[in-house]
Every structure is written in structure tokens, then in C-alpha cells.
């Protein structure tokens, strides 16, 4: 689960990492009252709290000089959508005079068989335009060695002082990420101030949803996140579906993150635009499992066609087909549905889908071509 910036910074502070001292204004709070009760230092940054990326370039960070400007910025940011998401709060922090912007992160890395540290001597919104960050493969947190990271940093960072401060921060990040079940902790930018301090100006922290049984704060955040969602999306979340909204018109219901990504890439390759990433792999053979996925996509006016792509060696495709047949009979939406089911007992699928006048495509390519063509006709 991707935490909001102020939540991630709270975690960083608990690990001994410096962040600006901010004030959070929740959506349903009285901004004027909060500003009156806190000594906000100006100039200040007012920052929309959203999980969507690209907030800075979209105007989601505003510099203000006084309470009046701050209240106006809070109201404006809370009323603005960023990649379709309304902020749940805004964060007001001192506007720092930054001497340099660096990049530092810790992430779960299969190649490292554990955690890896990434560092770049230049950070900020243009980080992706520069060379890839230097990488130190740590593995389990207990294997962190300062001298090994120092060897990596010496190849990209000329300042001895910065290198030593980064090593100290990275060690805290590694051990903190492991203890808190974080899959990613990204500080961008990590600001170097004139006095030499390194301060986490922004923070992106991703927690492992599956660790909620042992991390009470993850469990609480998941419950709060789910409660904020529309009912149709809550139904999908409760079925453990993974859903990401995109800006296309081809709805996609698939099984497994890799298969879903492959289908999305193919939709784009054939000239279409995927409307979502929807992995419905939990409970892949039940009508109950797929019902909320169809309800969500059927209700989305942007979506012109739905592509169902399910593959599984251990999944019995005749059971998936039976679920699809029953769901198609109960649907009221007229949006066309294109099927590509492949796996165990797939030879039984055509006869089952024939009951609803549907065809099972023999390849993902032909299914995607039909879905893209249907979406084009309805444009």
C-alpha cells in the first residue's frame, strides 16, 4: 500500500531521519482553525496529499507567504483532482532553501534476494531524465555494510561529507524498511541544506499489504483507504482484486499481475488504450469473484469494451467459463465482452460460451485486436 507523504514522513522520523515539521489539514477539517492553532513559518509549501504521481508538475505544490495565501491554496488543492484523485488532506511545511537535491531509496529487489539501496547525486522531478541511480545490493537488512555502500557512492558522489551522511541515512532506511514491512522507501528529493544537513523533503513509502496481520498500522491504513472508496471499488478490494485506473477505453479483467501487464502492453501495441489494470486472480473460478469486477467496469462510462484474459495451468478453464456464462446472463450492461481463456480443460470452454453466443479466442493477440476494434467503432 502506498502511503501518503505525511504518513511516510512520520515513519521516517520514527527512524531518526529528519523531515520538515509540517501541519496536516484533513479534507473535512477547518483550515482556518488549524492555521490559527499552529505557528506556521512562512514562506511555506502547501502540498496536496495524493497517491498519484506527478503532483508537482500538475500544480499540487504551492508556495505561500502568509495565512491568507495558505487558506486559498488549501481550498484550491483540495478541490483539484490529480490523476483522477482528490486529495484527502494537504500538508503545510516550511519552504526550505535547498542547496542540492539528491535521491535515496531502499526497495525490495529479487536480484539482491532482499533489499537494495539506490542513490543518485541529482534528484527532484527530473530524476528519470538522468543516468540510473547507483545500486548497492544489501540482501537481508542484517547484511548492510557501510564500507560496501561507501565503495558504491565513491563512483558517483564527490563529496566525502555527503557520502558519510548518506551511509548513515541508508542504514536507518534499510533497518526501518525491514522492521515496518516496507517494499519501497523513496526520498526524492533528499535536500542538502546550506548547513550540510540532509532533509527528506518528500517521501514515497510503500507498505506490504500482506503484512497487515503483523503490522497493526498497515491494517488500520487499509481499512481507512477502503472506507474512502466508492462502493463498487470497495467490493473489488474486499475480493482482493488489484485495480489501477488508467485513461483508456478498453476495460481489462485478467488473472495475475504479469498476465495483466502483458495484456495492457498488447492493447497499446495494437493501437488501443487500456482503461485499467484489474487483476482478479483471487478466487479465479467463481461467479462471486468476478461479479464486482464486471460491476465496476460496467458502471464506468469511459469503458467501451471489456477484455477478459485468464490463463492458468492449475486453473480449470471450464469453471471460469461457467462463471462467465452465468455473469453474462445476469448483466444488464450492453458493453461487448471479448474472451480469451486458456489453461486446463480449455477444450470445454467453446461449448460453454456458445450458450451466450460468445467466442473464446485462441490467442491473446486475436482477442486484443477484436477488443481494440470494438472500442474504435464506439468512439
Q: Is the preceding peptide bond at 357 cis, omega within 30 degrees of 0? A: no
> Residue 162 has what pLDDT?
97
- Tell me the pLDDT tens digit for each residue of 321-370: 999 999 999 999 999 999 999 999 999 999 999 999 999 999 999 999 99
Residue 269, SS3 per DSSP: helix
Across the chain, what does the average pLDDT equal? 92
> Residue 154 has what pLDDT?
97
> Residue 223 has what pLDDT?
80
- Tell me the pLDDT tens digit for each residue of 52-100: 777 888 899 999 999 999 999 999 999 999 877 889 999 999 999 999 9
- Tell me the pLDDT tens digit for each residue of 257-281: 888 999 999 999 999 999 999 998 8
Residue 372 burial (CB count, 10 A):
22
> Residue 378 has what pLDDT?
67
Scanning the chain, the segments in alpha helix (DSSP H) are 5-14, 31-37, 67-78, 146-153, 160-179, 216-228, 231-238, 257-269, 287-298, 317-330, 349-354, 364-377
Task: Express as a percent the part of the chain with pLDDT over 90.
Answer: 74
Strand partners, 277: 244
Residue 337 burial (CB count, 10 A):
22
Contact in structure between 136 and 189 (CB atoms under 8 Å) = no
Domains 21-94 and 230-377 fall in the same CATH topology: no
- Tell me the pLDDT tens digit for each residue of 102-133: 999 999 999 999 999 999 999 988 787 888 99
> Residue 283 has what pLDDT?
60
The radius of gyration computed from the CA coordinates of the chain, to the nearest angstrom, equals: 24
**Which CATH number among 3.30.470.20, 1.50.10.10, 3.40.50.620, 3.20.20.70 corresponds to the domain 98-211?**
3.30.470.20
Find all residues with CB under 8 Å of 257, minimum gap 6, and list them: 242, 279, 281
Where exactly are the structural domains of the chain?
Answer: 21-94, 98-211, 230-377
pLDDT at 284 over 70: no
> Residue 324 has what pLDDT?
95
> Taking residues 194-199, what's their average pLDDT?
96
Among 42-51, 52-61, 132-141, name the one with the lowest average pLDDT: 52-61
CATH superfamily ID and name for 230-377: Succinyl-CoA synthetase domains (3.40.50.261)
User: Rounded to whole angstroms, how far apart are CA atoms 79 and 160?
Assistant: 45
pLDDT at 169 over 90: yes
Nearest to 280 by CA among 296, 265, 267, 266: 296
Find all residues with CB under 8 Å of 31, minimum gap 6, and list them: 25, 70, 71, 74, 75
pLDDT at 227 over 80: no
User: Rounded to whole angstroms, how far apart are CA atoms 337 and 136?
Assistant: 46
Topology of 21-94 in CATH?
Dna Ligase; domain 1 (3.30.1490)
pLDDT at 285 over 90: no
Q: How far apart are the first and last CA of the chain?
A: 35
> Residue 188 has what pLDDT?
95
Nearest to 269 by CA among 372, 342, 362: 372
Q: How far is residue 246 from each of residues 52, 234, 235, 264, measured CA to CA in Å?
A: 11, 18, 19, 10
pLDDT at 255 over 70: yes
pLDDT at 225 over 80: no
Handedness of CA 369, 298, 221, 279 (dihedral sign): negative
Residue 15, SS3 per DSSP: coil
Residue 362 burial (CB count, 10 A):
12
> Taking residues 35-45, what's their average pLDDT?
91
> Residue 369 has what pLDDT?
97
Contact in structure between 190 and 124 (CB atoms under 8 Å) = no
> Taking residues 192-214, what's their average pLDDT?
93
> Residue 148 has what pLDDT?
98
Nearest to 278 by CA among 259, 294, 254: 254
Question: What is the phi/psi pair of residue 175, to 5°?
Answer: -70, -35
Find all residues with CB under 8 Å of 173, minimum gap 6, and list them: 15, 17, 104, 105, 106, 117, 185, 187
User: Rounded to whole angstroms, how far apart are CA atoms 272 and 127?
Assistant: 29
- Tell me the pLDDT tens digit for each residue of 24-39: 999 989 988 998 899 8
Amino acid at each position: 500500500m502506498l502511503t501518503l507523504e505525511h504518513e511516510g514522513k512520520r515513519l521516517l522520523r520514527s527512524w531518526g531521519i529528519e523531515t520538515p515539521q509540517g501541519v496536516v489539514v484533513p479534507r473535512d477539517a477547518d483550515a482556518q482553525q488549524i492555521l490559527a492553532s499552529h505557528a506556521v513559518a512562512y514562506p511555506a509549501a502547501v502540498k496536496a496529499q495524493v497517491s498519484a504521481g506527478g503532483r508537482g508538475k500538475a500544480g499540487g505544490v504551492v508556495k505561500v507567504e502568509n495565512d491568507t495565501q495558505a487558506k486559498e491554496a488549501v481550498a484550491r488543492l483540495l478541490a483539484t483532482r490529480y490523476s483522477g484523485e482528490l486529495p484527502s488532506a494537504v500538508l503545510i511545511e516550511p519552504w526550505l532553501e535547498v542547496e542540492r537535491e539528491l535521491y535515496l531509496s531502499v526497495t525490495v529487489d529479487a536480484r539482491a534476494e532482499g533489499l537494495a539501496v539506490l542513490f543518485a547525486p541529482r534528484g527532484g522531478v527530473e530524476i528519470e531524465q538522468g543516468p540510473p541511480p547507483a545500486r548497492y545490493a544489501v540482501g537481508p537488512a542484517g547484511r548492510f555494510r557501510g564500507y560496501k555502500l561507501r565503495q558504491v557512492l565513491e563512483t558517483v558522489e564527490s563529496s566525502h561529507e555527503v557520502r558519510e551522511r548518506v551511509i548513515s541515512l541508508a542504514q536507518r532506511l534499510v533497518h526501518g524498511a525491514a522492521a515496518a514491512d516496507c517494499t519501497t522507501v523513496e526520498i526524492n528529493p533528499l535536500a542538502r541544506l546550506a548547513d550540510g544537513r540532509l532533509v527528506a523533503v518528500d517521501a514515497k513509502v510503500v507498505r506490504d499489504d500482506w503484512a497487515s496481520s503483523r503490522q497493526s498500522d498497515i491494517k488500520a491504513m487499509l481499512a481507512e483507504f477502503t472506507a474512502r472508496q466508492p462502493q463498487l471499488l470497495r467490493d473489488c478490494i474486499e475480493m482482493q482484486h488489484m485495480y489501477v485506473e488508467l485513461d483508456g477505453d478498453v476495460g481489462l479483467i485478467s488473472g495475475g499481475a504479469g498476465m495483466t501487464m502483458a495484456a495492457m502492453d498488447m492493447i497499446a501495441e495494437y493501437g488501443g488504450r487500456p482503461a485499467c489494470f484489474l487483476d482478479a486472480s483471487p478466487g479465479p473460478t467463481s461467479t462471486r469473484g468476478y461479479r464486482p469486477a464486471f460491476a465496476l467496469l460496467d458502471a464506468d462510462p469511459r469503458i467501451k469494451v471489456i477484455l477478459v484474459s485468464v490463463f492458468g495451468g492449475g486453473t480449470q478453464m471450464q469453471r471460469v467459463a461457467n462463471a462467465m456464462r452465468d455473469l453474462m446472463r445476469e448483466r444488464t450492461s450492453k458493453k461487448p465482452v471479448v474472451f480469451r481463456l486458456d489453461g486446463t480443460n480449455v477444450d470445454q470452454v467453446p461449448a460453454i460460451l456458445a450458450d451466450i453466443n460468445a467466442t473464446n479466442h485462441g490467442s491473446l493477440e486475436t482477442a486484443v485486436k477484436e477488443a481494440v476494434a470494438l472500442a474504435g467503432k464506439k468512439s
